[in-house]
Amino acid sequence: MPNFSVVSLAFTSKTATIPGAVYLKRSQRMQGFIPQSRGSFMLDLVAVAMFAILPALAFGMHLVKDQKNYAAHKKMMIAISITLAVAVTLFELEMRLVGWRQLAEPSPYYNNIMPIALGIHLVCSISTTITLIATVWLALRGFPAPPSPGRHSTLHKKMGKLSALGLFLTSVTGWTFYYLAFVAS
């Protein structure tokens, strides 16, 4: 029987296929670049990107809070949002079409702590995605062009802080899951 990866359904050992999808043999997967890791290239890229996003997010907040540069803040936050959207879309495509469980199976945490860490990460990442989309959407609709403080500022400040906290928690829980699944041995 060929050694193909298929979509793994979270918290089960069942697999499903997507009609018309092209599945890669495990040996055809692009290897990651983080030393001592079993992660794929995309897993490693997202782990590094989530690390790089945090300073960019802090700088974007500095632009508006300390420098009152609303236009630069808007551009920075849109760039971060687009970068995250592209990275998450490519990441999710790989997870659905190629899978990840076969890379995590050697972990001593595969059947105990790892599913809990994944669940916590998914709660953080899904809620943050929703919050971030709402924050950007409402900002684009609520602020004038060029951007300046207005009636939407109070809500936006609260949602921005909530989105930033969510991105931080998503990063920390993602790195924790990454270690448990793809580094621990």
Q: What pLDDT shows up at residue 65? A: 93
pLDDT in tens, 166-176: 999 999 999 99
Q: Which of 125, 122, 135 is nearest to 166 (CA)?
A: 125
Question: What is the CB neighbour count within 10 angstroms for residue 141?
Answer: 8
- So what's the pLDDT on residue 153? 93
Domains by residue range for the chain, with CATH: 7-183 (1.20.120)
The single-letter DSSP state of residue 125 is H
CB atoms within 10 A of CB 144: 10
pLDDT score at 50: 87
pLDDT computed for residue 95 by the predictor: 86
- Give Cβ neighbours of residue 183 (< 8 Å, ≥ 6 apart): 34, 36, 37, 38, 39
Residues in the chain, pLDDT under 50: 1-16
Residues in the chain: 185
